[in-house]
Structure 1
Amino acid sequence: MAEPACPICSEPAHLDHRPFCSARHRDRDLLQWLNESYRLPDQNSSKEGLDSADGSY
């Protein structure tokens, strides 16, 4: 089985910081989540835009 790669730099993951290669990359990823740099898609939003509920703009 192949060793997992760090999602930041693609280097091999280190056991102490898995799935990252270092504490620096682990902390960088956490900071991106806390700053809302990563976003999950909203299942309920329309792709046409943000219209108001009554149809007016």
Structure 2
Amino acid sequence: MGLMFRKRKKFGPFILHFTENGYSSWSIKLGRWSWNSRAKAHRVDLPGPLSWKQDKSRA
């Protein structure tokens, strides 16, 4: 298993994700709710280590 390069740049609620190949995806996070452009999924952070995810491709 090799090392992977990953980087995030935050601009307020907008987050840009980069990998070793360049730009990967963007996401928006408002409070406990977030949405990612690559996964096209909604996610809600729950108390503790839990989170809830709704995959748009399966909805």
* TM-score bracket for this pair, using the shorter chain length: under 0.3
Q: TM-score, normalised by structure 2?
A: 0.21
TM-score of the superposition, structure 1-length normalised? Answer: 0.22
Higher helix proportion (structure 1 or 2): 1
Give the structure with higher Rg (CA): 1
Structure (1/2) with the larger strand percentage: 2
